[in-house]
Amino acid sequence: MSEKKLITKKSLFRQLIKPVGFALVFSGAAFYLFSSIGPIYQYLHIDVSFLLLPFLGFCFLSLLSQLCPIFIPTRRGFVGGLILNGLGFSFFSYFFFSHATALTNIPAWSRFQLFFTYMEQLRVFAVLFFIGYTIVKIADPIKLTPIGLRIYPLVLSIGQSLIGYSLWKSFSAFSQSWHPSEGFGLIIFIGMLAVAISNFGQYGQKSKYPIIADASNWLKTIPAGKFYLGALVAAYFIFLRQVLISMTPWAYIIEWLIICGISWYIFAKAKAGLENGYALPVKETAWQKHTQEISESVSDDFRKLVHLQESFILKSDKENLISWLQQTLRMNNLRDDEIDRLLAVIKEYKDQKVPWYAFSFWKRRILIKNHENRWGVLDKTIKNLDNFGHTTRQIV
């Protein structure tokens, strides 16, 4: 056996040992605790065996979700892992909520029969929530494909709408005991629906009409603001309007003033976007401005540049981005030493490695930090190019 194959097997073993080990430990613990041979049944005489199936099923599907990208180290494997992870949570939620009333067998919880009855109604909506969440997570990797880039807003909108709808119906399940809960759920749904609609702004960003392009940019940016705006409008019509009408005869005038205020706010934001037209596009295409400053002879083929930038941010693929930038700068008659100086930051950057033994929260923290560091590297490189462009113009 060659040394290369030995190293590959060792690397594969290190990747497998943690997910397989955790799956075995948690499955064994679940079987011991919830089966008839466990201490809960033996000493407390409480039958909680209904918990065994959802826990074991979740452990199995979660293990498959972690193994999928290891054995299929491509985008398909990553997407497959996300789907299996969503199936694991959906499986657990459905069977757990389906037997929620069985929790009343525990003496301390026997008084909450009505609450657990309501919980049984959540099984379908919990599945819808995790389906929507999985669709949202899948949207990012499919965006890097030509077809995925076109359907990305639609896919993301579907996922966000399902999340909002499932939360609305989950709150509604408790409305018989607390009537306002349905209203709160509807507010969340309308807020999420506003975010979902805002995603379609991406389709108009490349319009040849500036007003459509800038309006689309405004619609797409700051999705949290769209959520709060939608939730605020929904809260007014669901809870505040009737109170306002009963308090004063001027309610309709006040309502009209509120509508005018919201309309003015939207118009002011759109106007500000038009005044700043193309000065600084959305963050994903921040290279556009600086490339225009450096080069007047290179075609504005920014779709490829956006793809290279996203590949660096999401997958730390800096080689292709550096190669593209070097080629562009050479076409503008820059010397190799000038190019090396301008691109030094991105050339020297390296991600912090994730230890194979790292726990999930530790791994997540490192991945998030690496993602932030890559954005910082891009910003520094942009500033280098920007400063060089200003210096060149001054000399000329």
Is the model's pLDDT at 234 over the cut of 60?
yes
b/e 172-181 (16+ beta carbons within 10 angstroms → b): bbbeeeeeeb
Amino acid at 78: F
Q: How confident is the model at residue 358 (pLDDT cuts 50, 70, 90)?
A: low
Q: How confident is the model at residue 110 (pLDDT cuts 50, 70, 90)?
A: confident
pLDDT recorded at residue 278: 39
- Residue 291 in tokens: 């490339």
Which range (103-117, 194-208, 301-315) has the least confidence? 301-315
Instruction: Give the 3-state secondary structure of 129-167.
Output: HHHHHHHHHHHHHHCCCHHHHHHHHHHHHHHHHHHHHHH
Mean pLDDT of 9-18: 77
Burial class (CB in 10 A: 0-12, 13-18, 19+), 308: buried
pTM higher than 0.75: no
pLDDT recorded at residue 283: 44
| Whether the Cβ atoms of residue 58 and residue 88 lie closer than 8 Å to each other | yes
Q: Higher-confidence residue: 226 or 6?
A: 226
Is the model's pLDDT at 396 over the cut of 80?
no
Average pLDDT of the chain? 79
Q: Over pLDDT 90: what percentage of the chain?
A: 19
Q: How confident is the model at residue 280 (pLDDT cuts 50, 70, 90)?
A: very low
How many Å apart are CA 366 and CA 364, to the nearest integer? 5
Q: Higher-confidence residue: 356 or 335?
A: 335
- Residue 325 in tokens: 């930038």
Q: Could you say which DSSP state residue 284 is in? A: G
How many Å apart are CA 266 and CA 204, to the nearest integer? 18
Which range (33-42, 50-59, 155-164, 183-192) has the least confidence? 33-42
- Count CB atoms within 10 A of the CB of residue 363: 15
Mean pLDDT of 325-353: 84
Of 276, 288, 264, the C-alpha closest to 215 is 276
Helix residue spans in the chain (DSSP H): 3-34, 39-44, 52-71, 75-98, 113-120, 123-142, 146-172, 180-198, 210-220, 223-235, 241-247, 251-275, 287-294, 302-315, 319-331, 336-342, 344-348, 360-395
Mean pLDDT of 105-112: 80
**Residue appearing with tokens 């979740």:** 58
Cα-to-chain-centroid distance, residue 140 = 7
For CA atoms 337, 338, 341, 347, the dihedral sign is negative
In order of 210, 268, 303, the CA distances from 213 in angstroms are 5, 16, 16
Q: How confident is the model at residue 243 (pLDDT cuts 50, 70, 90)?
A: confident
pLDDT recorded at residue 92: 94
Q: Higher-confidence residue: 105 or 218?
A: 105
**Residue appearing with tokens 């996300």:** 82
pLDDT digits (tens, 9 = 90+) for 136-154: 999 888 877 778 778 888 9
Q: Higher-confidence residue: 361 or 294?
A: 361
| Whether the Cβ atoms of residue 167 and residue 189 lie closer than 8 Å to each other | yes
- Residue 382 in tokens: 């942009």
Which range (195-199, 246-250, 344-348, 372-376) has the least confidence? 246-250
| Whether the Cβ atoms of residue 308 and residue 321 lie closer than 8 Å to each other | yes
Mean pLDDT of 252-268: 75
Is the model's pLDDT at 129 over the cut of 90?
yes
Mean pLDDT of 303-314: 75
